[in-house]
Chains A and B, each alone.
Chain A
Amino acid sequence: MSTPGAGARRSLLSVEDLHVSFVTEDGVLRAVDGVSFDLRAGEILAIVGESGSGKSVTAQTIMGLTRSTNARIEGSIDYSGRDLVTASEEDLQGIRGEEIAMIFQDPMTSLNPVYRVGRQIVEAIRAHRDEPDERARERTIELLDAVGIPDAKRRVDDYPHEYSGGMRQRAMIAMALALEPKVLIADEPSTALDVTIQAQILRLLEELNSERDLAVILITHDLGVVAEVADRVQVMYGGRIVESGTLDQIFYDPQHPYTWGLLGSLARPDRPRMRRLSQIKGQPPSLLAPPQGCHFRPRCPHAFDRCTEVPRLEARVGDSHADRCWLSVEQKRNLRVLESGDIGLEVPAA
C-alpha cells in the first residue's frame, strides 16, 4: 500500500548522480550509471530490476562494500550530512551495522560456518558498543526471539548449519537489527527461500518497518514481493533508474515500456489467463558496451530515432512519478491499451 503522506517525510539517505564502474580485463564495466534517489524515514523503497541492472551494486556502494582498487565510484551518497562516497574507511565502519545495516540474498552462505550464530551477532554488537559479553549475549537472545527463532535461549549456541534457510535469514535480520540502525538494506532477502518462508520474512520486514520506524531499501527482481510490502518503487535497467513512483503509480499507471514488460511477465492468479505469459525479447544490455542512448532501446518494441539520445528521468505524469522514455504520455496511453493483455493491466477508464 502506498503511503499518501510519504512525500512529506524527511529524507534520510540521498543518493545523487551515483556512478560505479569496475575496470576489468575486458574493459570498463559501468554497473551504475547516474542513479539518484532519496530514502525517506520509515518507508520501504523497492528497487526492482533483473540481474545486472545495478541494483545490488547500488546497495553495496551505499555500505561502501564495492570499494576496491579496480572500482571507480563517483557522485554522492548523503547520509545525515556525511558523504558515504568520500568517507574514510574508519567512518564507514562506524556507520555499517550501527546506522545502516544490510542483509543479503543467500542466508546459506552469509553466516560464517565456523562460528556459532549467537557469537556472530554478539560480534556485531561488540564491534560498536563496549558491552560486556554477557549483556551482548542476552541482547542477542532477545533479538533472535524477536525475529521468531523458536527456543532462542538454546538455539543461540547453534552453528549456522543447524539452522534452516528461513531461520538463517531471520538470524541475519536479527544481526542487522542488533544496533537499531535507521536504515536496513535488504538485498533480495527472500529470493533463496521457499515461497512460504518468503512471505514470513517479508511480513517480518514489514513489521519491523512499522514498529521500529525502520527505513528499508528492498532490492528484488520479484514484483510480487514489491506489491506485498513496498511504499515506493524504482525500476532499474542497465545501471539506470528507468521509472520511479509510488507502488500504485508503478502497478496501475506504468510509464516505461520496460516496466510494462516486467508487469506483463508477472503471473497473476487473480486474473483469468488468456495466453502464455509474455516475455521481454532479447538480452539485458552488456554493461561493458551498453547501447547508445536509452539502454532499453534494442529490446523496446516502440523505439524510434530519438531513442539514441538518453532521456532524462523526469516527472511526466505527476509530481512523484518519473520515467525515462521519449514517448509522449498520450502515445504511451494508447500503446498500453493496445497491449493491455500483455501487460496485464486493467485498461484505465480513459
Chain B
Amino acid sequence: MARFIARRLVGMVAVLFAISVIVFVIFNVIPGGDPAERIGGRNQTPALRAQITKDWGFDKSLPVQYVDMMKKIFTGSLISYQNQENVIDRIKQGVPITLSLAIGAAVIWMAFAMVFGYLSAVRAGAFTDRALTILSLVGISMPVFWLGAMLLYFFTFKWQIFPTGGYVGFTTDPVQWFTHLLLPWLTLAVLFIGFYSRVLRSNMLDVMNEDYVRTAKAKGLSERQVRVRHVLRNSMIPVITLFGLDFGAVIGGGAIITESIFSLNGVGQYTADSIVNVDLPPVMAVTLFGAFFIVFFNTLVDIAYAWLDPRIRLGTAAA
C-alpha cells in the first residue's frame, strides 16, 4: 500500500509539471505577438512593457522564460500589472472562502445523494423511487445561475431569512459563517445530488445482482446488513471516482458562478474578475491552482480506490 501511494505521488508531480508546461505554452508562446503587451493589462505604458519583458525574460530562450514564470509563482512574486496586487496573496485570501463553499457543498451533496440513491435502489420501481427520480432530474436540469438567483430572491429579499451574500470567516463567527454559506452550498449541491443519486442507484441495482450478494443472503444476513456491507460498499467505488474529480473541479474554478451570485470573494470570483479585466497573470495562476486541485484529488481518489477494492492494489503493484 505504501508503495502504491508513493507511486501515485510521483505520478502526480509528473502530471503537474506537464500541466505547468502546457499553461506556459498556451499563455506565452502560442498567441504570438508581444507577450509583455498581453500581460501588461489595460493601462500599460511602453516603460511597463519593457520592464515586463525584462522581468519575465521574454528576450531570452523559452526554457528560461518557463523557469522565470515558475519562479514568480513559487516565490509569490507574481503581480497583476493592472492593480499592482500580488496574485498569490490574493489567491491565499480567497482559498478559505472557496474551500468553505466547496467542502460544505460536498458534505451536503454526498449525504443527500447517498440517502436518495440508497432509497431509490431499495425501492426500485416503487413510488419513492419514481419521486426521487423526478426530483433528481429537476435538480440536474436547473441551471446554477437561475437556482442561485431564485434562492436569493425568495430567501433573502422576499422573506429575508438569510443574509444577501458576502462571507464571514468561520473563526470570526461560526453561526454567521453558516447562514452566509447555506444558500450557496445548496445552489452548488443540487446538481450533484441529482447526478450522484442516479449513479449510486444504478450501481446498487447492478451490484444487487452479483453472486456475492446472493452468497451474503444465503449466509443468513439480514436484508439491511446485505445492503450496507455488501451492496453499498461495492457501489461506492465509481461514486468515489466521480466525487474526487468533481470536488477538485469545484475548488479549482467550478464554483465561479455560485461565488459570483452570492458575492463570495473566493478564488472563483477572482478568476471571473480577472477574465473580465483581461488580466493575464491571475488567470495563469488560477489555472495552475485549479489544475493542482484536480490532480491532487484524482490522486486521493486512486488511493481511496485501492483501499475500497483490494484488487487494485495488487494490479498496480504487479504492473
A-side residues, CB < 8 A to B, are 63, 65, 69, 89, 93-98, 101-102, 104, 106, 109-114, 120, 123-124, 127-128, 159, 161-162, 172, 175
Contacts and interface: CB of A to CB of B under 8 A. Distances in A.
Interface of B is mostly: helix
B215 interface: yes
Interface size class of B (residues with CB under 8 A): 20 to 34
B220 A104 contact: no
Nearest to A98: B220
A36 B125 CA distance: 34
Contact of A159 (B221, B230, B311): B311
Contacts of B220: 93-98, 124, 127-128
Nearest to B126: A69
19 contacts: A65-B214, A93-B220, A93-B222, A94-B220, A95-B220, A96-B220, A97-B220, A101-B218, A102-B218, A109-B210, A110-B212, A110-B215, A111-B215, A112-B215, A114-B233, A114-B234, A124-B219, A159-B311, A172-B215
A102 B218 CA distance: 7
Contacts of B210: 109
Nearest to A125: B219
Nearest to A181: B220
A122 to B, nearest CB: 11
A106 B210 CA distance: 11
B314 A175 contact: no
Contacts of A120: 215
Interface in B205-230: 210-212, 214-223, 225, 229-230
Interface string B181-220: 0000000000000000000000000000011101111111
B5 interface: no
A96 B219 CA distance: 6
A292 to B, nearest CB: 34
A88 B121 CA distance: 23
Contacts of A109: 210-212
B89 interface: no
A237 to B, nearest CB: 25
Contacts of B215: 104, 110-112, 120, 172, 175
Contacts of A175: 215, 219
B262 to A, nearest CB: 40
B309 interface: yes
A260 B310 CA distance: 49
A120 B220 CA distance: 12
A49 B6 CA distance: 54
A123 B219 contact: yes
A127 B314 contact: no
A161 B314 contact: yes
A162 B308 CA distance: 16
Contact of B219 (A69, A97, A114, A162): A97
Nearest to A93: B220
B127 to A, nearest CB: 13
Given A112-B212, A112-B234, A89 B223 contact: yes
Nearest to B125: A69
A249 to B, nearest CB: 32
Contact of B310 (A89, A97, A159): A159
CB-CB nearest 8 A-B residue pairs? A97-B220, A96-B220, A109-B211, A124-B219, A112-B212, A97-B219, A159-B310, A110-B211
A65 B220 CA distance: 11
A127 B230 contact: no
Given A109-B210, A109-B211, A114-B309, A96 B314 contact: no
A109 B212 CA distance: 6
Which of B214, B217, B220, B225: most chain A Cβ within 10 A? B220
A114 B220 CA distance: 19
Nearest to A113: B311
Given A109-B211, A112-B212, A175-B219, 8 more contacts: A96-B217, A97-B220, A112-B234, A113-B310, A120-B215, A123-B216, A159-B310, A172-B215
